[in-house]
Amino acid sequence: MPGDETRPGTAQVPDETEESVPFETADIYGAYPRLPEEQMDRLAQRGRRREADAGDVLIREGEPCEMFYVVLSGSIAIVEGYGAPDERLLRVHGPGRFIGELGLLHGQVAFYTAVVRDPGEVLAVSMDQLRDLVTRDSVLGDVVLRACLGRRALLVGQGAGFRIVGSRYSPDTRRLREFAARNRLPYRWIDLETDEEAEELLRRFGVGPAETPLVIWRDTTLLRNPSNVELARLMGLPSLPARNHHGDLLIVGSGPAGLAAAVNAASEGLDTTVVEAMASGGQAGTSSRIENLLGFPSGISGAELTERAVLQADKFGARISVPAEAARLEPRDGYYAVGFADGSEITARTVVLATGARYRRLHVPGIERLEGTSVHYSATLYEAQQCRTDPVAVVGGGNSAGQAVLFLAGYAPQVYLLVRGPSLEAHMSRYLIDQVERHSRVRVLLHTEMTEALGDEVLEAVTVVDHRTGGHRQLAVRALFVFTGAEPHTEWLSDALALDARGFVLTGAEAQACSVPGLWQSQGRDCLTLETSLPGVFAAGDVRSGSVKRVASAVGEGAMSIHFVHRYLGHTAAPGGTDSSPRTRPKESAWLG
């Protein structure tokens, strides 16, 4: 099938349906499962059967996905650019398969058209009905979620979706590519410097190189150097509420801590809004595999963990908005007001800061011009697909570096791990060390520091120094992955509450010691464990000073922060003299039907 590929050495299991649909795409990575009869029966109880004639369009590219379709008979073609001269067939599905990918679960626009190829019958299930069913049937929910994640990854690998036309040397091109990758949006990058297609597209749309980068969607929509917000709205990512209202809780950040807080708060009836500057999942969302998280003995990818948590938060009624970059925090009339970079504002009775921390940029000669093309600060499927034939290097000695090395070794022929220290034991878990040291494609270089990146358009080699001998040498690698520790993004909080010397948020006794004199006496209590120097503002996860930088710890702190939110709300009279107890409200999410 055009656009489809299978992993080398992966046997495809034939089944009798493929014989009746000769052109059906084989199941790839479990992305195209055939639903068993009992799951089909449960879906049939919620949906309606309808005839499907050849040429009927079920899902149209560029429009929101509103229905979940299961093929009962006949076949459905998944097409990119339907009706255009460059129309491309991506895959074909026969009886027992369902139509949809990740955008289906989040209300995003479709990145393909689903059109009936062979006439037959389909089962149409509304999204409200599907969401209600999968929350009650965990087996079906797992099947749908895994398939949707796999299909989104395959769309990315096939170059489907919108196009970004821009120079590899442009910071705005790198910004748009990073935003798309972090939000798992399918796109294809057309390099203004090397791709002949770029010049043809500029002529067709009548724009000059100075107006790039461009975002082109379906050859009908053109955005000139759009902001992340403009791109998000075009793709259907959730926006801030149309009007500001005084909610119970605002969570800033949607990594593991923020999502855990959202699930716990919303499930307990608190009016909860979550805002995120870049992409849900935070740093954890970029992890190829998390193996030390309780309850996942075979590990789980950061993307899958994130999607599960987002769906869970949405199920209980939490509102999640991306992107929304917080710019200020201030008390106002018994509430806290958080202002955003675009000038909007949200007020809430309490705030949980869960902004996490960001990987430090590596500052060596030659690296800046290669960032976003062959120098990366995450290692996901999006980056790994570019590393199938060439050696790569990973800088760092912690768990994130170890996870990246093992993931990349499944794609690249050789992975160098550059560690400045004398051993891996100082910062990496034992289970990762054992796997890294045993892997035949991994070479660990201790006492080694990178000093320069070589290459004009793409990375060609890195220069490293061995601190034991002082000798320099070059490693021929085509991609570099950097995991050299993290720093908080708390500049916007520096005038609002107490931070430690490195910029992490102080909480508990340390925050109380740095608070305005007499503040806590006026409260009639001490500062709570996760509370900051502002009463009613809490911090959880990596952004908190002294926290354990692990996913499990962040999840625990996020959940625990809601316990303290309830204590604060129960202790503080609401503005206007209303009942101060947390309010239990009807669940408004469509997930609850």
In 246-286 the beta strands, taken as DSSP E runs, fall at 246-252, 272-275
pLDDT band, residue 365 (cuts 50/70/90):
very high
- What's the confidence (pLDDT) of residue 12? 36
Whole-structure pTM value? 0.83
In the chain, the largest separation of any two C-alpha atoms, in whole Å, equals: 78
pLDDT in tens, 409-457: 999 999 999 999 999 999 999 999 999 999 999 999 999 999 999 998 7
- Rounded Cα–Cα distance for residues 298 and 291 (Å): 7
Burial 296-326 (b: 16+ CB within 10 A, else e): eeeebbbbbbbbbbbbbbbbbbbbbbbbbbb
Lowest mean pLDDT segment, chosen from 5-19, 480-494, 530-544: 5-19
Asked whether 139 and 88 are in contact (CB, 8 A), the reply is: no
More confidently predicted of 382 and 73: 73
Of residues 115 and 379, more confidence is placed in: 115
Helix axes 138-157 and 127-136, enclosed angle (nearest 10): 120
Please tell me the predicted confidence (pLDDT) of residue 498.
97
pLDDT, tens digit, for every residue of 147-168?
988 888 888 878 889 999 999 7
Helices 399-408 and 430-438 meet at what angle, rounded to 10? 30
pLDDT at 385: 74
pLDDT in tens, 189-234: 998 988 889 999 999 999 998 999 999 998 889 999 999 999 999 9
Q: What integer pLDDT is reported at residue 21 of this predicted model? A: 55
Is residue 392 classed exposed, middle or buried when 0-12, 13-18 and 19+ CB atoms within 10 A define those classes? buried
Confidence of residue 582 (pLDDT cuts 50, 70, 90): very low
CB 71 within 8 A of CB 59: no
Q: Considering the chain, what is the average pLDDT of its residues?
A: 88
Tell me, what's the pLDDT at 217? 93
Coil, strand or helix at 521: helix
